[in-house]
Structure 1
Amino acid sequence: MREQPELDPEQERESIAIPIVQAEYLIPSINSSVETQSTWFRNRSPTPDLATPRSDELVRASARAATKDRLLDFLREFNGQIIVDLGAGATENGYRIAMFANARGYIGVEPYHLDDLKAEFEYAEPGRSWGYIIKRYYKKELIPATLVKQDALGFLRLLPDSSVCIFAAGLDGFIIDNDAYCSEVEKEIARVLAYKGAFINYDSLFRLDQNLFNMENIQEGVINAPKYYLTKFTRKNPYVATF
C-alpha cells in the first residue's frame, strides 16, 4: 500500500473505508459460476509495471480548475453507470475517476495486485483513509465498489449484454502482447457496453469498430502527457446491439 497522506489536525477524525460489495450487488445477472480465463493469459508471466496504471494524469486533470469541467463533460456517459476498470493496478485511481464522473458503482478488475488494491480501499485510519479523503474532496457519498482478481477477457465474459461502461488505462502492447486476446477483449467490450454508455480508453490498445461506434479524442489542454491519448467510444445507434 502506498504511503498515506499526513493527517491534517483540523480534519474531522472520521474513519471511512471505501465500501466493498459483491459483484452480484452491482450486476445481479453476472454469471460468476463459470471458468472464463483464456489459455494465453493463464500461461503468461506478469509484467513489472502492471501495478501502476497510467491513470494518475486523469486524476490530476479532474482536480485542475482549468481542465476538470471539460474532462467531466467528456466522461458524461459514465454518469449513473457501473464502471468496469480493466487492469485497475494497485491504486484507487479508477475509483476516483468513477466518483468524479458521478458513476453508480465501480468494479476494479486486477489479476496480479488485488491484495494491494484491497489494502488501498480498506485502509480506514481516522482522517487518513482514501475513503475519507475522496468523500471529503468530491463532497458526496462514496459509491460501492467490487474488486475482482481476474483478467480483462475472463471478467468481461461473465457480464450480461449491454450492462456496463468500460475504463482501461495503460493496457498497451507491452502488457497485452497477443493480438488474438486483444481482439477477443474488443469483441466483449462491444457486447457488454451499455446502450448509452461509453468505453473510455487512456493509452490502451483496445479499439472498437468505427462502423458501429463513434470515436472521440481529447488531449490538448486537458492531458499533460503528450505521448498518451484519451479516447471515447460510444454506440452510433444506442438502441441497437453491436454483437
Structure 2
Amino acid sequence: MATDTWVETERGLVYGPSGKQLDAYRPAGAPGPVPTVLLWHGIGPDERDVLEPLARTAAAHGLLVLVPDWRSDPADGARAQLLESLAFARKEAGGLGGDGESFVLAGWSAGAPAALGVALRPEVADGRRPAAVVGIAGRYDLPAFISGGVALADLAAGLDPAVPVHLVHGSRDTIVDAGHSRDLAEALRAAGREVTLRETGTDHAGVIMTEYDPAVNRCRPTTAEHAVRAGRLVAEVLVAAAG
C-alpha cells in the first residue's frame, strides 16, 4: 500500500475469476467507512492507470474509488469482467474502508453507457442498481457494454434507471461530442427522471485530468489548467452523487 499526504493506494487487487486487477484509492487516515465509487475506464484495454489522476483527486475529497482494468475484446464484450468488478465492489469495499452496500457507479467514455446500462437493466447485475450513476464524456446512442442496451432507446421504451444520473462532458470534446450527454439529459428530463449535466471547457482526455499522447496511443496525466479544473469538477460531482 502506498500513502501520500491525502490518499492511500492499494494496487493490483485481483477482483474476480478473470484475473483482472483493480486499484483502490481512499482518503488517508479516514476514521471510518467512506462512500464508494466504482469507476470504469473507456474502451482502451486495461487502462485503469489512465484514471489515476481523477481517482486520486476524488479520493482526496473523501471517497473510496475502485478502478478496474477491463477489455472489450472477449467474446462476451467485457460483460463478465465488468460484472466481476461490480461483485468485488459490493463484497470487498467494506474491507477497503468503503461502503459496499450503496455505491456510485461511474464511467468515462465507453464506461459511461456501461454504467448507465446497469441502472436501466439491473437484471444483468442480479437486479441490483447502484445508488447513483455518473457518466463522464459518454455516448448513449450505441449498445452499452455489459447490458447490450442502447440508453436512449431504453428510455424511449419506458425503462427507468430509478437512481439519480449525473453527467459531465467537455465542451471541446471532438471524440465524443457533448451533444450526446445533452441528448441523454433531455431524454431523462422528458421521462421525469433525476439528472444533472455539467459541461466544462476541456476535451475528451482533459475531463479526466489527462492528455492524449499519440506516440503511445494512450492518455497520460497533465497539469494543464483546463484539465485540472475539469477533474476537480468531476470529483465534486462524484462526491455529490455519493450523497
> TM-score, length-normalised on structure 1?
0.34
- Which protein has the bigger strand share? 2
> TM-score, length-normalised on structure 2?
0.34
